[in-house]
Structure 1
Amino acid sequence: MASLLKLLGAVIAKQMVSERNVGSSSYRLLTLRILTFIGLSLPSIASVGAAEQALVFMNGTWIGEGYMLTLDTDRMQGNQRADLPFQREPLLLRNVSAKMVVFDIGTSRFIGLFDRDNLTLTGLSFDRNIRLRRVKP
């Protein structure tokens, strides 16, 4: 975030030093573009911080109620098939809100409520919530 603000500050300062452009339409256009970029980026920057925290508490193998889920957040891969323990599919975070995470593994979408070493999991393929516990390495 600090490097982004430094970069934007340098661009604005460089443009402001050039006095001949201050009244021009190119200066106004540049200023509008920068402000639009900042306005669109700030929510994304905040969600990046939440996503980073989610990656830490999601990582691991979770088992319970006849179900197994492996979340490898270092490589952004997951597995939901106990019969194929080394098969991995892409892990994609859709939404992060405190300890609740909406994520996809391959084509399957899940909603997980993480509480330390406990996970309450639901998804379209489940008819109820499933409670899982993290397996200690």
Structure 2
Amino acid sequence: MRGFIYAAIAAGSVILTIVLLKSNMKKDAVQLPLPPSKQKAHSRDPDVTKELLSGKLFGSPKPLERLPTARVELPDLTAEAGAYLAKIDGKWSAGSIVAVIDAKGARGRVSRTGEEARMRPLTVRDISGNMAVIDIGPRRFILLPHPDGLLMSGGSLAEPIKLRR
């Protein structure tokens, strides 16, 4: 009932506003649209840029120097990732957690026993010695092969777990 009352009050105030606006307008008045606003140019002001580089702006004692940009080389993980994934390929489990790694298809899944999870894309982010950082779908995991199995942490796991084949 309250909702109906509030709606009626809102509708009444809108109608009253329209009536008041129309009554204040002269019969022969013409309402013109607003002129377009002037937008500032998004380009740099050349004078300010020159002053910045010369050091005159802010009373800098010597001009600013443009440093050369360095090219960053990213490591190629293709061969290393293939060998690492081949070592951990297969089905792993620990208690109620099951991890499936498909090295050839670059897919994987981590789920609880009895839960049916679909395979997701697997991306190797980094390999450092025996340790690897991988993404399975949107989750990130840290893997460390162990003589008895595979240590896994991250993702939705509360703590690191030791998986066995």
The alignment's TM-score, normalised by the length of structure 1, stands at: 0.59
1:77–1:89 contact (8 Å) kept in structure 2: yes
The amino acid that maps onto 1:53 is A
Cα RMSD between the aligned structures?
Answer: 2.2
Aligned to 1:102: 133
Aligned to 1:89: 120
Which of these residues, 73, 82, 100, is aligned with residue 70 of structure 1? 100
CA distance in 1, matches of 2:78, 2:154: 24
Runs of 4+ in 1 over 3 A off after TM superposition: none
Which structure has the higher relative contact order (CA within 8 Å, separation 6+)?
1
User: How many positions carry a matched residue from both structures?
Assistant: 93
CA distance in 2, matches of 1:49, 1:77: 17
- Rg bigger for which structure? 2
The amino acid that maps onto 1:84 is E
Gaps of 5+ in 1: 1-35
The amino acid that maps onto 1:111 is I
Aligned to 1:16: none
Which of these residues, 123, 143, 146, is aligned with residue 112 of structure 1? 143
Question: What displacement does 1:40 show?
Answer: 4.1
Kindly, what percent of the aligned residue pairs are identical? 30
* Change in 2 beyond 3 A, CA 1:72/1:117: farther
CA distance in 2, matches of 1:97, 1:132: 20
User: Hey, which of these two has a bigger chunk of helix by percent?
Assistant: 1
Output aligned runs, 1:14-53, within 5 Å.
40=73, 43-44=75-76, 47-53=77-83
CA distance in 2, matches of 1:116, 1:91: 23
Question: What displacement does 1:126 show?
Answer: 2.4
2:82–2:103 contact (8 Å) kept in structure 1: no
Query: Which whole-Å deviations, capped at 9, do the CAs of 1:88-133 have from their partners, x for residues lacking one?
Result: 1111111112221110111111001012550111004223210100
